[in-house]
Amino acid sequence: MRLSPTGALRHSGNLFAMALDVVRTMPRRPFQAREFIQQAWFVASVTILPTALVSIPFGAVIALQIGSLTRQLGAQSFSGAASVLAVLREASPIVTALLIAGAGGTAICADLGARKIREEIDAMQVLGIDPIHRLVVPRVLASMVVAVLLNGLVSVVGVAGGYFFNVVLQNGTPGAYLASFTTLAQLSDLWAAEIKALVFGAIAAIVASYKGLNAKGGPKGVGDAVNQSVVITFMLLFVTNFVMTAVYFQVVPQRG
Amino acid sequence: MGVEICVEGLTKSFGHQVIWQDVSLTLPAGEVSVMLGPSGTGKSVFLKTLVGLLKPDRGSVKVAGRDITKLREHELYEVRKLFGVLFQDGALFGSMSLYDNIAFPLREHTRKSESQIRRIVLDKMDMVGLIGSEGKLPGEISGGMRKRAGLARALVLDPEIILFDEPDSGLDPVRVAYLNQLIVDLNAQINATFLIVTHDIASARQVPDNIGLLFRRELVMFGPREELLTSDEPVVRQFLNGRMQGPIGMAEEKDAAQVEQELARLGDADRKPRHVGNDMTPRLMPGPGIARPPRWEAIARREAELHRKAVTGA
């Protein structure tokens, strides 16, 4: 691969152009309902189990960290509050994003990449069908919906994991844990997390689709595309996460 | 019937590498044309540029009076409905059965009922000899069958222009002969404009009305079959005869002195003026069951004439 100074700019431009195309194509009828449901089911089926399995230890780690910290400070009654806040605000969108990108995005990228190098995408375009409308839009929507639902799952499992570790293993007080639930966290945190998940799902699917549709150079090209799509998605997700968090703190008044 | 494609000053490059430049030709409506060229001269790129999958650097491609290179995306999708394209490996959708693959364009673009679709699909599958394989997946069948299924899918919307990307690559000679016959029969039946991209000389000699040759980043020649088959242009002669002596080398091209030497060694026999009959492979005609439109009647008369001349040694 040759490196050129304008290469990176061109690629980001193309990626952004495709994102705009996806937004513009979204309202176009007929909506590909079948493809959407299949993709939503597919993304859900490859992400649910790993997500649940990742979020239990994630919740536990947060509970352990916070548990020892609050004990040293003598603020055990706040351990529930802090752990809910951490899980809800940051852990769950990030865990969701990593899994959507790592499990869902790679599958989308590999699928579209394989179709691209078998000339299926070209054939589709020649048959007068826009692959953005037929393939990408349903995948982006599916990934967004599943991300939102997964975020809920991660929040529940993460908080339950935190509760289990705090109460059962660190001898915390169940009552205090539950009572302090809403001292720091508030409902808008959940909404913000869901919006983050929605955006992350869209980014992961768009980057995966872009890389898949631009795969070239045979089977190795598909492998490279998948690799790059994961790296690019992760970078974009963490930057977006930072920006959205910063905006959130400015817009929504905080408790405590 | 059939639509003329008018290509003017077409130039395409990837980065600094020029694929071909200043290609101008007209594919006459309803005729069969073949684009020849050594491997790696951008024949497939040319084909993809014709349907607007790749944007040329310069030049225009006019299809039915509209310039493909300047159309907006949604207009392009409209114009593409005039095209049927057979890709190298058939480019079937791997997740669908052959039947669904062939029915796909009908389901996407028409409001036909399933029973109408079924009739059309089975008709086209019969045409390419795939009856009985409707339920098979593309991964389960041979390359030749995939090509034929790809052809059936390209035909299903009754295109005005059909493009073939190396229809003969990876097929045995017998299947290539059948496929060539199928192409000729199709042309007599539906009168569409055909463009075949290939490097198979036997097909190029038998099938088309017109032949073009891409070499050294340009269109060496494009014209009626007779003109190219009897041409004295060294590149054309070398390619159509499939021999090593001439400007086309293993890697790319040879230097002029070497070419001269080789051609001289080939002997005067090759340089002598010959009468037309010698180089003319008889043209492949539509099968006996096919009703010939006037265009093919005229071709048949001309072929008979040539044949008589060759026999009597005019």
For residues A158-176, give the mean pLDDT. Answer: 82
> What is chain B's alpha carbon radius of gyration, rounded to the nearest angstrom?
20
Residue A164 reports pLDDT greater than 80: yes
The verdict on B248 and B293 lying in the same domain is no
Task: Show the tokens assigned to A53.
Answer: 């399995």
The verdict on B125 and B256 lying in the same domain is no
Q: Which of B80, B91, B150 is closest, CB to CB, to A128? A: B80
Q: How far is CA B66 from the centre of its chain?
A: 22
Contact indicator for B11, B20 with CB cutoff of 8 Å:
yes
Residue B279 reports pLDDT greater than 70: no
Domain membership flag for residue A152: yes
- pLDDT one-digit tens code per residue, B51-67: 888 889 989 999 888 89
Residue B76 reports pLDDT greater than 90: no
Task: Show the tokens assigned to B220.
Answer: 């060496």
Tally of domains in chain A:
1
Q: Which of A2, A123, A129 is closest, CB to CB, to B91? A: A123
Q: DSSP letters of A156-202?
A: HHHHHHHHHIIIIIS---HHHHHHTHHHH--HHHHHHHHHHHHHHHH
**Closest-CA residue of chain B to A118:** B91
Domain membership flag for residue A167: yes
For residues A26-35, give the mean pLDDT. Answer: 86
Q: Which of A2, A120, A125 is closest, CB to CB, to B93? A: A120
Q: B206 in helix, strand or coil? A: helix
Mutation for B interface: A115, A118, A127, most B CBs within 10 A: A127
Confidence label for B276 from pLDDT (cuts 50, 70 and 90): very low
Per-residue burial over A117-144, b = 16 or more CB atoms within 10 Å of its CB, e = otherwise:
bbbbbbbbbbbbbbbbbbbbbbbbbbbb
The verdict on B208 and B173 lying in the same domain is yes
pLDDT at A198: 93
What residues in B contact A119, CB-CB < 8 Å? 87-89, 91
- pLDDT one-digit tens code per residue, B220-267: 889 898 888 888 888 888 888 877 777 777 766 677 777 777 777 776
The verdict on B266 and B197 lying in the same domain is no
Q: What are phi and psi of B226, to 5 degrees?
A: -55, -40
The ipTM estimated for the assembled molecules is 0.75
The verdict on B298 and B253 lying in the same domain is no
The verdict on B240 and B284 lying in the same domain is no
Task: Give the pTM.
Answer: 0.81
Nearest CA of chain B to the CA of A113: how many Å? 13
For residues A63-88, give the mean pLDDT. Answer: 82
The verdict on B98 and B145 lying in the same domain is yes
Task: Show the tokens assigned to B243.
Answer: 């021999």
Q: Which residues of chain B are at the A interface, by a Cβ-Cβ cutoff of 8 Å? A: 15, 48, 51, 53, 73, 77-78, 80-81, 83-85, 87-89, 91-94, 104-105, 108-109, 150, 153, 157
For residues A109-119, give the mean pLDDT. Answer: 92
Residue A30, classified by CB atoms within 10 Å of its CB into exposed (0-12), middle (13-18) or buried (19+), is exposed
Q: State percent of chain B over pLDDT 70.
A: 93
Contact indicator for B18, B217 with CB cutoff of 8 Å:
yes
**Closest-CA residue of chain B to A120:** B91
Residue A180 reports pLDDT greater than 90: no
pLDDT at B263: 74
Residue B142, classified by CB atoms within 10 Å of its CB into exposed (0-12), middle (13-18) or buried (19+), is exposed
Alpha-carbon distance values, A110 to A37, A210, A236, B233 (Å): 19, 11, 19, 48
Q: B221 in helix, strand or coil? A: strand
Tally of domains in chain B:
3
**Closest-CA residue of chain A to B73:** A130
Q: Which residues of chain A are at the B interface, by a Cβ-Cβ cutoff of 8 Å? A: 2, 114-115, 118-120, 122-130
Q: In this complex, do B109 and A125 lie within 8 Å of one another by their Cβ atoms?
A: no
Amino acid sitting at position B111: R
Q: In this complex, do B109 and A128 lie within 8 Å of one another by their Cβ atoms?
A: yes
Q: What is the DSSP letter of B168?
A: T
Cα distance between residue A143 and residue A129, in whole Å = 22
Q: In this complex, do A122 and B87 lie within 8 Å of one another by their Cβ atoms?
A: yes
The verdict on B152 and B287 lying in the same domain is no
- How many C-beta neighbours within 10 Å does residue B53 have? 18
Domain membership flag for residue A18: no
The verdict on B195 and B206 lying in the same domain is yes
For residues A211-218, give the mean pLDDT. Answer: 90
The dihedral over CA atoms of B149, B151, B152, B155, expressed in degrees to the nearest 10, equals 160
For residues B146-172, give the mean pLDDT. Answer: 88
The verdict on B250 and B308 lying in the same domain is no
- pLDDT one-digit tens code per residue, B167-201: 887 788 888 888 888 889 888 888 899 999 988 88
- How many C-beta neighbours within 10 Å does residue B52 have? 23
Q: What is the DSSP letter of B248?
A: B
Domain membership flag for residue A141: yes
The verdict on B283 and B212 lying in the same domain is no
Domain membership flag for residue A176: yes
In this structure, of B85-94, B141-150, B250-259, the range with the lowest mean pLDDT score is: B250-259
Give B307 or A107, the one with higher predicted confidence.
A107
Cα distance between residue B45 and residue B21, in whole Å = 12
Domain range for residue B144?
A: 5-231
Mutation for A interface: B79, B93, B96, B110, most A CBs within 10 A: B93
What residues in A contact B94, CB-CB < 8 Å? 114-115, 118, 120
Point out which residues pair with B212 in neighbouring strands: B35, B222
In this structure, of B36-45, B79-88, B137-146, the range with the lowest mean pLDDT score is: B36-45
The verdict on B102 and B183 lying in the same domain is yes
| Residue-averaged pLDDT of chain B | 84
For residues A74-92, give the mean pLDDT. Answer: 82
Q: State percent of chain A over pLDDT 90.
A: 39
The domain boundary, picked from B273, B288, B304, lies at B273
Alpha-carbon distance values, B255 to B232, B243, B248 (Å): 19, 17, 10
pLDDT at B1: 63
pLDDT at A3: 62
Amino acid sitting at position B162: I
Residue A206 reports pLDDT greater than 90: yes
CATH of the domain at B222: 3.40.50.300
Q: State percent of chain B over pLDDT 90.
A: 14
- pLDDT one-digit tens code per residue, A52-75: 888 888 888 888 888 788 888 887
pLDDT at B270: 53
Q: How far is CA A72 from the centre of its chain?
A: 35
What residues in B contact A126, CB-CB < 8 Å? 51, 53, 80, 83-85
Q: How far is CA B232 from the centre of its chain?
A: 23
Point out which residues pair with B273 in neighbouring strands: none
pLDDT at A140: 94
Q: DSSP letters of A19-88?
A: HHHHHHHTTPSSP-HHHHHHHHHHHHHHHHHHHHHHHHHHHHHHHHHHHHHHHHHT-GGGHHHHHHHHII
Domain range for residue A147?
A: 47-251
**Closest-CA residue of chain B to A126:** B80
Domain membership flag for residue A166: yes
Domain membership flag for residue A14: no
